Structure 1
C-alpha cells in the first residue's frame, strides 16, 4: 500500500499490508510474551513503561516527523501530542501500582472472600488516523499497565508512529509485548477474528458495528465518534468565539470531540453568526492547521458540505487545493441537515437557533452521537445546570477539548461503549476473579 503525505499528495513510502501470516505471527508473539509480562510486579511494569516514555521523549523529533508525514498536522500539534503519550505511559504505570480490590471480607459464615483483577490476555488495539500516536497511547498504555500484551493495528494511512512505538517497546518492555501490525481493513478484519481476548477499537460507528458483530463473544471496547453540541448563551465569555474557532480547527477538525454544532438563542443568533465567522476567518488552512488526512475523508467532507441546505456560508481564507479545506461556518440550516446530523470531521461549524434553553437542550440531544459537549456562559449556576442536562460522556463549561490523563473520556448512545483515560480505563483491560475460601 502506498502511503501519501497529505500535505503534498506525494507517496512517502510503501508497505505491504498484513495478511493471515503476519496477523497469526503477531498474535502468536503476543501470546508467547503474555505470561512473562503479566507475571511482572506492578512496580516492574511501571519501571519498563517509564523507560518506554523516556525513549519517546528521547526520539521526539523522529516521532514528530513521522506523525506530521502521516497526518499532515503542524509540528507544534504533533509535539504536544507525543508529550501526552509519554505522560500516559508514566501515568498508567503508576496507577496500576495503586489498584485495590473492590471487596474483601467475611461475606459468608465461615468463609473469607476477595476479588483479584487480572489482565484479559492479548488485546487487539485498532486505532484511527486522526491521532495515530495519541490514540495508540490511550489504548496501549492502560492495557499494558494492566498486564496484557497488545497487537496494535494502526490505520492504513498512518502506520509510521505505531511502527516506531513498537520498536521502542521491544527495547523497553521486551519482545512481543507490543507489536505493530500495519495494514488495511482486511488486516483489521483478520485481527478481529484471530482469537484475541479483547478488541479495543476507536473509529467510525459503521466500522465499530462491524467489529462488534465479528467479535461475537469476545469483549469489545468501542469509541465511535461524536458530533459535539455547543450551547452559547448571551452572557458567554468574551473569548468564546476565538476559543471555539481554535478548537474546531485543531487537527483540521478531525477529532471525535471537536466542537461541531453551535446552538444559540434567537435574540443573540445574528450577532453570534457574525462573531463566529470573524473568529473562524482568522484560522487559515496552511498556516494555522493542516489538511484533511486522506482522499476518502476529503470526499466525504465535500459531500456533506455540498448536500447542506445552509442559507449562510462563511469561508475563511486559506488553502483549498489537494486535501486542504478552509475553516467554514454554515448557518440558517434545518435540524436534519447532513452537516448537523453527521459527524463532519473537518474544520467546519454549524450554527442553529433555539427559542429557549429547553429547545437548545433538545437540539443538542437530537443526534445519535453523545461523546462530548460544551456550555458557554458566565452564569455558572445556569451553566452547571445545563451540563447536568446534556447526556454526553464529557461536558465542558467555558472551554472545549480540555483533557487530562486523570479524567475519563467515554461515549454514550452511538458514540460507543467503554472508557478511555483515567484509572477507570484500567478496568477495560482487566476482569475480576472472586476467590472464596472456607475456613477449616
Structure 2
C-alpha cells in the first residue's frame, strides 16, 4: 500500500494578514524595531511557501531583553500567589478566546494536522490553568524547632530572570510548559523560540501584552549559537531551560557552567515499547498508530522502538501494519480527516530520508512505507521497519519521523537490557496482562515516564522529564514550580 498526500482544492493560506504577529522582537512589553541585518524565512512545510521573515537576533538584542526582564523582576516577584494566579488565568482565557487563529497559525508554521494543532492549543491553555491553581497550593517542610530554641522556616523564592529556549516540534505548547511555571514561581523571562517556528510564540506575546507588566515576558528570535548562547552565558540570567536536541543541551550546559547558573534540559528520546507474549496485541497496535506517529513522529516520547516477544512478533506486526495503513497523510488545509502532516523542514526531511536509506542498505525491510512522498512539502510515508538487528542505527538514534522499528526478544531480562541499551531515558511502555510483571519491568526501565498498556498519555498534574541523555529537570506538575524556584531556610533563635 502506497500512501498519498491529501491536498486541498483551495490552497488559500491557513494564516495571513492580521493573523500573523509582527515580525519583530518583543521586549519591554512591546514589539520593537530591530537593527538586524539578516532575517530568517519562515516556511510552510506543507507547501514550501514563505509565510514570514523574522529577524536573526544578536547579542545586543538579548542584552536589551534581559535588561527589561531585570527591570521587571522585583515588581513581579512581590506579587502574592493569588495575584500571579489571576494573571495566569487571564492569559488562559485570552488564549482560549483566540484558539482558532492559534490553531491555524501553528498548523501553517509546522504542517501539523488541524486536530494535532488544536490539541496543542488546548494543552497550552490547560497548562496555564493548572499552574495558576498549583502556585496557590505549594507545600514545603513544616516550620518548627529542629534545634532547641531555633525556629526553622522554609521559603520558596523566585530565581530572578530565566532564559527559555523552545523547540520546533511543539512551538506553542513547549513555550507554555516553560512560561507558565516560570511566571507562576515569580520570575521574569526571555524566550528564544525555534528560528523555524517562531510565529505562535510571537502571537502569544501579542495576545497577552496588556495582561503583564512590561518586561515580564520578552521574546528574541534568532539562532541557537547566537541568541541561545548569549542567554546561557548572560550574567543576569539565573537559569536557562531548554527543550531541544542533545547537542543543543550539551552546548547550553557547557556555556551555563561558566556562571554556575541553574540548567533545566528536556532533550531527546528513543522510547522502547516492550510487548510481552500475553499482551493485547490489537490494543497495542491501535495505541501505537497514535503514539508512534503523532505529530509525524516528531515527538521525543514517540513509541518508535518496539521490542516484541518472538512468539507473537508476526501477529503483532500484521496488526501494526494494518493500523498504520489507515493513517491519512496530508496538508492541514485538506481538512480534519488528515492524521499526519509533513516534516518540519527540508533539512529534517533529508535527515529522516538518510536514516531510511541507510537502514535499507543494512538489510532492514519496510513492512509499510519506507520512503518520501511526492511534493510540494516534506512528506514521508508512515513506516514500519522489520528485520531490524540488535544495535542497528535506526533502532538506537532518534529519527524523529513517522518511523517505528520492530525487534524481537525471547525473555524478560533480554527485553529489559535491550530497552535500556540506548543513550536516552525519557519514556517507555510495557504491554502485558500480568500485573506483577508490569510493576517489576517498569521499575527496571531507565526512563522518566513508563506507561503500562498505553503510551504517550500526558497530564499537567504529573511530571515529564528524562534520565541519561534525555536531560534533567521536570516539566509539568508541582515539580516544575520547584524547578523554577529556590529554597531558602530562615532560622530564628527564640531562646529566652
Q: TM-score range by the shorter chain?
A: over 0.9
Of stretches 407-416 and 92-101 in structure 1, the one that deviates more from structure 2 is 92-101
Give the match for residue 253 of structure 1: 297
Match of 2:232 in 1: 192
- Residue 259 of structure 2 is aligned to residue 182 of structure 1: no
The one of 305, 310, 320 aligned to 2:356: 305
Q: How much has 1:355 moved relative to structure 2?
A: 1.3
Contact 2:353 2:372 in 1 (8 A): no
- Measured on the aligned residues, the alpha-carbon RMSD in Å equals 1.4
State the match for 1:314 in structure 2: 367
Contact (CA 8 Å) 1:30, 1:151: kept in 2 or not? yes
Question: Paired residue for 2:431?
Answer: 376
State the alpha-carbon separation in 2 of the partners of residues 330 and 310 from structure 1: 10
Shift of 1:274: 2.2
- Distance in 2, matches of 1:230 and 1:320, equals 31
SS at match of 2:450: strand
1:307 Cα deviation after fit = 1.5
| Aligned partner of residue 367 in structure 1, secondary structure | coil
**Matches of 2:185 and 2:207, distance apart in 1:** 19
The question of 1:342 aligning with 2:397 is answered yes
2:277 to 227, 234, 241: 234
CA distance in 2 between counterparts of 1:28 and 1:69 reads: 33
Q: TM-score, normalized by length of structure 2? A: 0.86
Write the distance in 2 (CA, Å) between the matches of 1:33 and 1:27: 10
Structure 2 equivalent of residue 137 of structure 1: 176
Offset of residue 113 of structure 1: 1.2
- The answer to whether 1:65 aligns with 2:108 is no
Give 1:243's aligned residue.
Answer: 287
In structure 1, runs of 5+ residues without a counterpart are: none
Equivalent pair of 2:231/2:240 in contact (CA under 8 Å)? no
- Does the CA-based 8 Å contact 1:311-1:332 persist in structure 2? yes
2:438 aligned with 1:401, yes or no? no
Distance in 2 between residues matched to 1:168 and 1:284, nearest whole Å: 33
- Name the stretch that deviates more: 314-323 or 263-272: 314-323
Tell me how far 1:435 sits from its aligned partner.
Answer: 0.6
**2:339 pairs with 1:288:** yes
Deviation at 1:133, TM superposition (A): 0.5
Q: Does 1:366 align with 2:421?
A: yes
Q: Distance in 2 between matches of 1:150 and 1:78?
A: 25
- Structure 1's consecutive aligned runs of 4 or more residues displaced over 3 angstroms after TM superposition are 316-320
Q: CA deviation at 1:65?
A: 1.4
CA distance in 1, matches of 2:473, 2:367: 37
Q: C-alpha separation between the residues in 2 aligned to 1:138 and 1:329?
A: 31
Matched, 1:429 2:484: yes
Q: Distance in 1 between matches of 2:222 and 2:205?
A: 15
- In structure 2, what is the equivalent of residue 106 of structure 1? 145
1: CA distance, partners of 2:345 / 2:128: 29
- Structure 1: how far apart are the matches of 2:323 and 2:363? 19
| Counterpart check, 1:266 vs 2:310 | yes
Contact 1:313–1:331 (Cα < 8 Å) also in 2: yes
**TM-score, normalised on structure 1?**
0.97
The answer for the alignment partner of 1:203 in structure 2 is: 244
Equivalent of 1:279, from 323, 326, 344? Answer: 323
Stretch moving more, 39-48 or 240-249: 240-249
Aligned length: 440
Between the aligned partners of 1:275 and 1:98, the Cα distance in structure 2 is 46
Residues in 2 aligned to 1:427 and 1:168: alpha-carbon distance in whole angstroms: 27
Whether contact under 8 Å (1:245, 1:276) holds in the other structure is yes
Q: Is the 8 A contact 1:133 1:162 kept in 2?
A: yes
